[in-house]
């Protein structure tokens, strides 16, 4: 807290993230440590050993927290609180099933359709680590919602030129899915660079076969 000299501080900090829109978490502060409330924050954001957090100071004891996994990929969270939505519907303890209808992935709880997800996709901004370790992680929430990374399997990526690439999809003990092999060939063939934004669109998840279509938005530095 030595960098906050001159600030009017209290014994509680407010933490904001990209999860849940404008939702925030209140955590008590003791000395230079977070105490009561931190466990709830960690659980809500699926924090694991190896994750690292960047706290952006917004005045007083208010911080915007950016959360990255061990591969330096920023974690992606839903803009709604899934648990609260489940409780409102009285379905918090039912088993979740996924069904693919055309290109719409529907989430079911019991016999009730909860949230249709049209064209499920996620974006990753290429960082130096992606070219050092030649691996790409799948956002935790996206992986769970679409049943990815539960076991090692092959996945097909279609690049912007319509070419198909076979890559391996695996998982860590934390449950995070990632691409451990095949990404280097895809990356080099498509001349990806730091700052490029890759959008991964799930187009097929049937019979243990996964297929994604990848589009690329070039950064000014890589053009």
pTM for the whole structure: 0.50
pLDDT value for 77: 59
User: Which residues, listed in sequence order, are joined to residue 16 by a DSSP beta bridge?
Assistant: 24, 64
In this prediction, residue 123 carries a pLDDT of: 92
Distances (CA, A) of 197 to 60, 81, 128, 184: 34, 26, 13, 16
Per-residue pLDDT of the chain (223 residues; tens, 9 = 90+): 555 555 555 688 899 887 655 678 899 988 778 889 998 888 877 777 778 899 988 888 888 898 887 767 776 655 444 444 444 444 434 344 333 333 334 333 333 333 345 678 999 999 988 888 888 888 888 888 888 866 778 889 999 999 999 888 887 766 678 888 888 899 999 999 999 999 999 998 776 678 999 999 998 765 5
Nearest CA to 136 out of 177, 173, 174, 196 is that of 177
What does the DSSP 8-state code read for residue 110?
T
Domains assigned to the chain: 10-68 (2.40.330.10), 82-217 (2.40.330.10)
- What Cα–Cα distance (Å) separates residue 223 from each residue in 91, 156, 195, 196? 49, 26, 10, 9
Report which of 170, 173, 138 is spatially closest to residue 153, judged by C-alpha positions. 170
């Amino acid at each position: 807290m030595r960098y906050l000299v001159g600030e009017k501080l209290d014994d509680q900090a407010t933490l904001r993230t990209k999860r849940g829109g404008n939702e925030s978490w209140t955590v008590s502060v003791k000395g230079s440590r977070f105490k009561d409330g931190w466990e709830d924050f960690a659980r809500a954001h699926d924090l694991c050993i190896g994750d690292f957090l960047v706290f952006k100071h917004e005045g007083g004891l208010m911080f915007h927290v950016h959360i990255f996994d061990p591969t330096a990929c920023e974690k992606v969270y839903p803009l709604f609180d899934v648990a609260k939505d489940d409780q409102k519907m009285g379905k918090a303890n039912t088993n979740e099933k996924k069904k693919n209808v055309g290109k719409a992935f529907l989430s079911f709880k019991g016999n009730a359709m909860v949230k249709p997800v049209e064209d499920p996709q996620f974006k990753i901004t290429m960082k130096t680590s992606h070219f050092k370790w030649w691996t790409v992680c799948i956002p935790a929430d996206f992986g769970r919602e679409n049943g990815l990374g539960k076991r090692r399997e092959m996945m097909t990526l279609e690049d912007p030129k319509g070419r198909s690439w076979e890559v391996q999809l695996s998982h860590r003990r934390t449950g995070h899915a990632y691409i451990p092999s095949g990404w280097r060939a895809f990356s080099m063939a498509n001349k990806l660079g730091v700052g490029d934004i890759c959008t991964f669109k799930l187009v097929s998840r049937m019979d243990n076969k996964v297929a994604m279509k990848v589009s690329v938005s070039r950064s000014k530095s890589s053009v």
